[in-house]
Amino acid sequence: MAMPTFHLAPDLPPVSRLCFGTMTMGEQSGPPESLRLLDAAFDAGVNFFDSAEMYPVPQRRETHGRSEELVGRWLRARRVPRDSVVLATKVAGPSGQMTWIRGGPAALDSRNITEAIDSSLCRLGVDYIDLYQIHWPDRYVPMFGETDYDPSRQYAYVPMEEQLEALGKGIDAGKNSYNLMCRNFDAGLSECCHQERINLLAYSPMAMGILSGKYHSPDDNGPPDARMNLFKGRYSEGESRYNLQNPKLESAVKEYKRISAKYDISPAMLAIAFVLRHPLVGSAVFGATKLWQLDEVLQSTKIHLCEEIVVEINDVHARFPNPCP
């Protein structure tokens, strides 16, 4: 299957519209399953792979860095030409909780960024990274379900100039959560991206799997090996944003499931196709722990959402706007 592409930068190969996110690899997916998934995605035309120094999630000392290590292991085992893939990874911002990552990490200063880059290069087994991202800012911002800015929570942070100097030459790309449950991008940042000619690298297009509908089935709360069940109580970042007990979230999911059934499209394919139709989305970062899930995501690139479907989607959004900000 030919995978649609876009150009991230002039000196990089065309980038697939789907980007395989690896944050479950090394925890929810073991090495054999992870390597099979990477193989299948690459064979299907996906050449964009995303990781982070803190992955896999839920993050813990024992598994720190495994996702990058598995990507590197796959590159060597498959003998993938380095210039045929685009590798993205991230530096963890100030946390105070992940003491195994540079003591917290305490700050995103020049030393921390440089050390993080060198460590990621070592785990990936490559000599350059195509897209390097700050995972979250070195300053207080509302995150993980928060919507209001609280000035009293601000703290002294590393100047942006120092961070940019450490990161080196910037890459003309953007990053934000964008899915049927969180369309905040459209409210203002989209204009900025358009004016600055920046594509959106949309993460969590499936809202951590919630948009598949598996957590809101009539009979149960979804399969026990689903992420929100398997790591219940251990993944505070995800649970704070994607609260399965939120009535607004549940109502929205039911409505999107109704639309998908009406037009004979799986809920997952509807969710991915919606994100990919956005004119400013360059690529969507997805995750999969099973081959059938990967196949479903890949098939979504063939889906065209007609105007009638989009009208119904927007009606649901108007009634239940952004239940997972």
Closest by CA to 16, choosing from 60, 49, 56, is 49
Q: Which of 55, 132, 178, 215 is catalytic?
A: 55
DSSP string, 34-66: HHHHHHHHHHTT--EEE--TT-SSS--GGGTTH
Q: Which two tokens stand for residue 302?
A: 């063939």
Instruction: Using alpha carbons, list the distances in angstroms from residue 270 to 24, 90, 298.
Output: 22, 29, 12
283 within 8 A of 17, measured Cβ to Cβ: yes
Q: Is 55 a catalytic residue?
A: yes
Could you tell me the two tokens for 196?
Answer: 């600055």
Q: Closest Cα partner for 141 from 13, 11, 325?
A: 325
Residues labelled as active-site residues? 55
